Amino acid sequence: MDYNENNQDKKPFRQKIISLLKIVIIALMINILIKGFLIRTYTVESGSMENTLMVQDRVVTEVVSRYFTQPARGDIIVFVFPDTNMKTGEQKIRMNTFEYSKYVISNLLKFQKPADIEEEYVKRIIGLPGDIVDIKNSKVYVNGEMINEPYLENQNITNITSSNIKYPYTVPSNQYFVLGDNRQNSNDSRQWGTVPYENIIGKAMFVFFPISNIKKL
């Protein structure tokens, strides 16, 4: 067997590898586009939003509207936990689509599975940028008016659970004050402050699993 025959044997193998890499890259790009610009699914892992969202509920989150409209009070949002340093105000900002793509590709080139390095939370927006949020007599006030919260269960009161936030509290620019619907069992803005706009992934639209819990949010 001469050199040319050896080369011909190797060629199909190389072509298979190249074809496989193309399929992986295309699939990755489609995944990034869908997650970054269309919809995402989220699995509820805590009871902080009960009884609106139950543990292990699967939620469809739409990502598109954040590019055209601002989040509204009452929206249920999925976001990257900012892990705010309450002394310095420093926050962990979510990776943008380019950064996420670069991170995933660099891991794939090392034949490593990309780790889930961003912790995702789901909460309800209570205070918008510039709003004055207050908690008095276990009730929530925004801009001096007690807000109507029909999604709260009876006896589900809102306590002040941290000395880090001083009330009345003015929500900073580009930030959102969020609370869980299960107020007595929720780690939220009362403990770690507000959510930067950049960290918002999208708005939760409906529960699609389990079947018994299917509903629009």
Catalytic residue among 10, 19, 46, 48: 48
pLDDT at residue 156 in the model: 85
Is the pLDDT assigned to residue 178 strictly greater than 90? Answer: yes
Confidence of residue 66 (pLDDT cuts 50, 70, 90): low
Is the pLDDT assigned to residue 3 strictly greater than 50? Answer: no
What's the mean per-residue pLDDT of the chain?
83
What DSSP element (H or E) covers 99?
helix 97-109
Question: Mean of the pLDDT values across residues 133-153?
Answer: 94
Higher pLDDT, 130 or 27: 130
Share of the chain above pLDDT 70, in %: 76
- Residue 22 bears catalytic tag: no
Is the pLDDT assigned to residue 27 strictly greater than 50? Answer: yes
Give every CB contact of residue 70 below 8 A, 6+ residues apart in sequence: 128
Is the pLDDT assigned to residue 211 strictly greater than 90? Answer: yes
Domains and CATH numbers, the chain: 39-93+118-216 (2.10.109.10)
Higher pLDDT, 11 or 165: 165
- Residue 46 bears catalytic tag: no
Confidence of residue 213 (pLDDT cuts 50, 70, 90): very high
Question: Mean of the pLDDT values across residues 7-13?
Answer: 58
Q: What is the DSSP string of 100-154?
A: HHHHHHHHHHTT-PPP--S-EEEEEEEE-TT-EEEEETTEEEETTEEPP-TTSPT
Higher pLDDT, 9 or 58: 58
Least confident of 90-99, 181-190, 197-206: 90-99
The count of residues in the chain is: 217
pLDDT at residue 29 in the model: 62
pLDDT at residue 148 in the model: 93
Whether the pTM exceeds 0.85: the reply is no
Question: Mean of the pLDDT values across residues 106-130?
Answer: 81
50: phi then psi, degrees, rounded to nearest 5: -65, 145
Sheet containing 145-146: order of strands:
145-146, 139-142, 132-136, 169-170
Is the pLDDT assigned to residue 16 strictly greater than 90? Answer: no
Catalytic residue among 123, 186, 189, 203: 123
Question: Mean of the pLDDT values across residues 25-54?
Answer: 75
